Each structure stands twice: as structure tokens, then as C-alpha cells.
Amino acid sequence: MKKLFSYFFVPGEKNGFRAKALQHDFLTYYLLFALIVVFTTRTFGTRFENVLGFATDITVEKLVEYTNSQRQKNGLPPLSLNEKLSQAARKKAEDMFVKNYWAHYTPDGQAPWDFILSSDYDYEYAGENLAKNFLFSSNVVDAWIASETHRQNILRSEYTDVGFAVVNGVLNGEETTLVVQMFGKPQNFILSQKEPAIAQSKKPVPPRSQISKKRGVVLANTSALKTNFIYLFLLFLTILVVLDLYVATKMNLIRIHGKSFAHFIFLTAIFFGLFLFLSKGIIL
Amino acid sequence: MKKGVVLDYLILTTASIFFLVFLRSFQGERFASFLVLLMFVSFYIIWGIFHHMKQRNIHIKNVIEYILIGFCILILLTVVFSF
């Protein structure tokens, strides 16, 4: 067992002073494996879209939990998850996919509160936050909290209800997960209709004039499962390279191979790059 | 370590830092992020070839190794950098 481990992972006489797992044949297997992963992801992503759609790590429950946690931190009462507001949020998300835009107002001029009213939620106060390209629920809420206008929406004392929609689809030719958060306070005795609050991004993305008919729920590629797998693979390669570098330096080996130190720098940059890429999406 | 080798690694490290900086500035923009990744992987392969040429130990085995590692990472990351 120990010999087998050494043969595959530690440079030595038997493997030509290069860990077998870092030799060309194995590197080719990794490449083929990567191609299979990409191919199956794309195939399964479209065939079993509704099943795999759950693989994304953004859930309504967690979004409610993190939103209310932020409110409680600021001494505000928690918001109740309202089915009508969630329905309005779903309608808005689906509308964005169908009409291919990313904005608070639809290309034909519909406002967020039009979706709220069409879901039979007669509001006194209403608001909307949007997010896309995020992987985790906590990152979505953290990004909103970091933006002053979105934060004001989350921490507005007038709101009593919240609704969420997490919908996967293709927007502007990019597979993405849209998160729509809608706030509200139902109309009771006060008849005057207040102006709804919409969080404005510092860099608003203009709506696309071209309307695409492409729609539907597909697998968000940034699922936690796949990301964890890629992180593990990167870690595996990095450990192999570090081990190779350590043994080669210790034994003062001169070999015709790529430089392990260069591979280490490259893999470390990719590791941090992946972390950066996944840690933030876009809010509006 | 020779002066030339140190300089080569310094260039690779600088490119890695630039890769992270550009990735951060394009956060949320998947296509732009993928282009940044593609450029970094290409740079890494070219760097490997030039480095071994300078060291006078260029061999097809070296070139293939950089290409295999670079492409493997690039293909795997297209799963998350989908656009």
C-alpha cells in the first residue's frame, strides 16, 4: 500500500523521479475527465433541469433567515415570508428571462409594484432588490447589505412581509441564477399610496431592447457540488506539485519536466481566482 | 537560484496578481472573467515555453505538461465560468 502510494504520489526511482499522478498519461486522463465533466454537466443540465436546479446553494429559506438576521441585528422585527410577494418575485424573474433584461423596470415600462399588485398584494409600502450570478445565499444578502440603497430596503422599518424567487435560466446568453427579493406592507387603513422603494445600483445595467424567446429553468452551473469538486481537484494537484517540489529539492533532482514551482504559482492563482469569482455576483 | 530564473518567477507572480486584480474588477461579469482566465492560462503556457527556452532545456515533454495542466484547468473552470 505504501509502495503504491509512493509510486503514484512521491517522486522516486520506480516512477522515474516524477510522481505518476503528475506524469503525462495521468495529466491526459485529468484532461479527458475534465472534458467528460463539462459534457455531462451540459447534457444533464438541460435534460434534468428541474431536478438539478435544486443543486444551487441559494434557497428561499436561507435568504429569509439571513435577511431577518440582519434586521434583528439592527433592532427591527423579522419579516414574514409572504406567498403573494413570492409569486410576484417569481413573475418578475420569469419576465426578466422571457424579455431578456436585467432591470427594475421592464422594457415595456412595467414597475416592480405592477407585479406585486398583479399577485393580489395590495401594498402600502413596497420595494425590490435584485441579484444574479451568486452561488450562496449568504453572499447575496451580504452584497445587498454592503450597498447603501439595498441595505435601506432590507432595514426599512415599514415593511412587514418579504417574498423571494430564486430562478435559474439564460439571461443575455449567460446561464445564471436570478434572485428577486420583494418587500411589502399590506394596505390596511391608510389610503394614501406611498412611492415604492427600489434599490438603485451604482452601475445600473440598461435593459436590453432585443427580446429573446429563449427561456426556461436550466441548471445553474455554479452549483455548490461542482464548485466543491473543482476546489478538491485543485487542492489535489497543488498537493502533488508541492510534494514533487519538496522531494525534487531535497534530492537535488535534475529532470526534463515542467517546473513544479511555476505550476504551484499558477494553481494558487487559479484557486484564489475561483474564490474571487464565486464570492460575488451583481446586485441591482 | 539564478538571477534570470528569479526574474521569470517574478514575471509569473506579477501575471498572477494581475489575473486576480482583473478578475476582481470584472466580478459578476462571466464572459469577461472567462476571457481573463483564458488569457492567464495562455500566458502560463507561453511563460513555460519561454522559461525552458531560456534555461536551454526545452523539450516537447515540458511543452505538453504546461499545455495539459493549463487546458485541464481551463476546461474544468468553464463549468463555473459559464457564459
The alpha carbons of chain B give a radius of gyration, in whole angstroms, of 14
Task: Give the best residue of B8, B9, B30, B74 to mutate against chain A (max A CB count within 10 A).
Answer: B30
Which chain A residue shows the shortest CA-CA distance from B20? A273
Query: What pLDDT, in 10s, does the model give residues A231-261?
Result: 899 999 999 999 988 888 888 777 666 688 9
Q: What is the pTM assigned to this prediction?
A: 0.68
Cross-chain CB nearest to A274 (options B52, B64, B77): B77
The most distant pair of C-alpha atoms in chain B lies apart, rounded to whole Å, by 42
Which chain B residue shows the shortest CA-CA distance from A24? B65
Bridge partners for A178 per DSSP: A132, A167
| Mean pLDDT rounded to a whole number for chain B | 89
Q: What three-state secondary structure class fits A131?
A: strand
Residue of higher predicted confidence among A208 and B73: B73
Tell me the chain B residues in contact with residue A235 when contact means C-beta distances shorter than 8 Å. Answer: none
Cross-chain CB nearest to A227 (options B51, B59, B80): B80
Q: In the predicted model, what is the mean pLDDT of residues A81-85?
A: 92
ipTM: 0.94
- Cβ of A273 within 8 Å of Cβ of B37? The answer is yes
Percent of chain B with pLDDT over 90: 60
Tell me the chain A residues in contact with residue B48 when contact means C-beta distances shorter than 8 Å. Answer: 258-259, 262
pLDDT band at B39 (very low <50, low <70, confident <90, very high): very high
Q: In the predicted model, what is the mean pLDDT of residues A26-47?
A: 81
User: Grid coordinates in use for A185?
Assistant: 406592507
Residue B80 pLDDT > 80, yes or no?
no
Weakest mean pLDDT among A83-87, A97-101, A278-282, B39-43? A278-282
Cross-chain CB nearest to B75 (options A38, A237, A258): A38
User: Grid coordinates in use for B8?
Assistant: 521569470
Residue A6 pLDDT > 90, yes or no?
no
pLDDT band at A52 (very low <50, low <70, confident <90, very high): very low
Q: In the predicted model, what is the mean pLDDT of residues A112-135?
A: 88
Cross-chain CB nearest to B62 (options A28, A222, A257): A257
| pLDDT computed for residue A249 by the predictor | 84
Residue with the three cell numbers 444574479:
A132
Other Cβ atoms less than 10 A from the Cβ of A257: the count is 23
- Cβ of B20 within 8 Å of Cβ of A276? The answer is yes
To the nearest whole Å, the CA of A190 is away from the closest chain B CA by 41
Residue of higher predicted confidence among A48 and A214: A48
Cα distance between residue A131 and residue A21, in whole Å? 41
Q: In the predicted model, what is the mean pLDDT of residues A67-82?
A: 92
Cα distance between residue B14 and residue A277, in whole Å? 19
| pLDDT computed for residue A165 by the predictor | 92
| Mean pLDDT rounded to a whole number for chain A | 79
Cα distance between residue B40 and residue A217, in whole Å? 32
Look at phi and psi of residue A180 and say left if phi exceeds 0, alpha if psi is from -120 to 50, else beta.
Answer: beta
Tell me the chain A residues in contact with residue B34 when contact means C-beta distances shorter than 8 Å. Answer: none
Weakest mean pLDDT among A125-129, A138-142, A198-202? A198-202
Pairs of residues, one from chain A and one from chain B, whose beta carbons lie less than 8 Å apart: 120
pLDDT band at A170 (very low <50, low <70, confident <90, very high): confident
Q: In the predicted model, what is the mean pLDDT of residues A75-90?
A: 92
Residue with the three cell numbers 496578481:
B17
Residue B19 pLDDT > 70, yes or no?
yes
Residue of higher predicted confidence among A71 and B28: A71
- Cβ of B23 within 8 Å of Cβ of A273? The answer is yes
Q: In the predicted model, what is the mean pLDDT of residues A190-196?
A: 47
Residue A25 pLDDT > 70, yes or no?
yes
Residue of higher predicted confidence among A175 and A132: A132
Residue A160 pLDDT > 50, yes or no?
yes
